[in-house]
Amino acid sequence: MSILNLGLQSVGLMRQKMGQEFEDLIEGCNSMEAILNSIFHRQSLKDRPFKTFEAATEQEIDNLWKSILQLDPDLNKDTTRQFKHVKNMTKFNEFYDHCCRKRHYFFEIKKCGNEFYNICLPLSGDKEMFEKISNFPDPMPGNDNHYMSFEDIYGKETDEKYHPSLKNKSNNNTADSNDSQLKPTQQYVRNVGLCVSCIECNKPRVLYSKYKVKQETIQKLRSFLETVDYS
Ligand SMILES: [Zn+2]
Ligand SMILES: [Zn+2]
C-alpha cells in the first residue's frame, strides 16, 4: 500500500459528531483539503517530509472543460468519466492518439506544433518558446536514494522503468506464476465473497461480508468488479 493511502486510512467522509473539543479542532481545518494537507505534511519518506501542491480550482477545471468540449461534441462534463465512455468517440480518440501521453501517474496533453496537422489547433503562442517545452518526465532515481527533483530531471529522456508500482508489479508477476495468486476455487471461504487485485500493488484484497451473500448477488458483484479498477 502506498504511504499516502496509509495516511488516508484515518480519513472518513462520514462521521458522527464528536466531543466539542474535537469539533472545534476540526472546525479550524474547515475543509477536506485542509485536513488532507495536514495529514500528508505529517508523513515522510526516507526522512524527507511530503510536500503538497495546490489543487486545481473549480474555475480552472471549468476552463479546461471548455477546451476539452471543443474536441468532440459527444463529450459531457457530467457524464464522461471513464475510458468506456470515450472509446467510441472518433474525434476524441484521434486527438488522444495525436497529442496525449498517458502514464500511470500523469497525463500529458501537448500540441505537436506541426502546422500540417489539423487535429490540434495551430500554435497560438511563441514558436521558440514552444520548442523549449519538454515532455513531462517520469520518476527516475537520483543518487541520494530519492527520486530526482523535477528541476533535475526536466528535459531528459525518461520512461516508466523506475515507476514504483510497476517495479513492484514485475516482482509480483514472477511470484504469481508460483502460488501467490489465488485460484478461483480457493476464493470462497465461508463468507469471503471474492478477491480483487489492486491495480497499484497487484496484491489480492479479500472482499468479505458479515452475513452470507446470495449466489446471485455475488454474480452481480463479479460483473461489477469487471468494470472497475480497484486500488
Ligand atoms: Zn498536432
Ligand atoms: Zn494496493
What are the domain boundaries of the chain?
3-49, 58-162, 182-225
CA–centroid distance, 168 to ligand 1, in Å, is 35
Long-range contacts of 219-227 (CB under 8 A, 24+ apart): 221/193, 221/194, 222/194, 225/194, 225/196, 227/84
Mean pLDDT computed over 49-59: 88
pLDDT tens string 61-118 = 999 899 889 888 889 988 888 888 888 999 899 999 998 998 888 889 888 888 787 7
Give the distance (Å) from ligand 1 centre to CA of residue 119: 5
| pLDDT over 50 (residue 176) | no
* Alpha carbon of 123 to ligand 2 centroid (Å): 41
pLDDT at 23 over 80: no
In percent, the amount of the chain with pLDDT more than 90 equals 14
- pLDDT at 186 exceeding the cut of 50: no
The single-letter code of the amino acid at 12 is G
| pLDDT at 174 > cutoff 80 | no
Q: What is the 127 CA–ligand 1 centroid distance (Å)? A: 14
Instruction: Please determine, for residue 175, whether its predicted confidence score (pLDDT) is greater than 80.
Output: no
Q: Which ligand is nearest to the CA of 120?
A: 1
If you average pLDDT over residues 176-186, what whole number do you get? Answer: 45
pLDDT band at 177 (very low <50, low <70, confident <90, very high): very low
Average pLDDT over residues 180-191: 46
Whole-complex ipTM: 0.53
| CA of residue 185 to ligand 2 center, whole Å | 23
How far is residue 42's CA from residue 51's CA, in Å, rounded to a whole number?
10
Q: How confident is the model at residue 1 (pLDDT cuts 50, 70, 90)?
A: low
Q: Quick one: which H or E segment has residue 25?
A: helix 20-29
Beta-carbon contacts of 75 under 8 Å, excluding residues fewer than 6 positions away, are: 68, 69, 86, 89, 92
CA of 95 to the centre of ligand 1 (A): 8
Give the tens place of pLDDT for each residue, 136-173. 999 899 988 888 999 999 999 998 888 777 766 555 55
Residue 17 pLDDT: 75
Ligand 2 centroid from CA 199, angstroms: 6
CB neighbourhood size of 15 (10 A): 9
Distance 204 CA to ligand 2 centre (A): 8
CA–centroid distance, residue 5 to ligand 2 (Å):
9
pLDDT average, residue stretch 164-191: 52
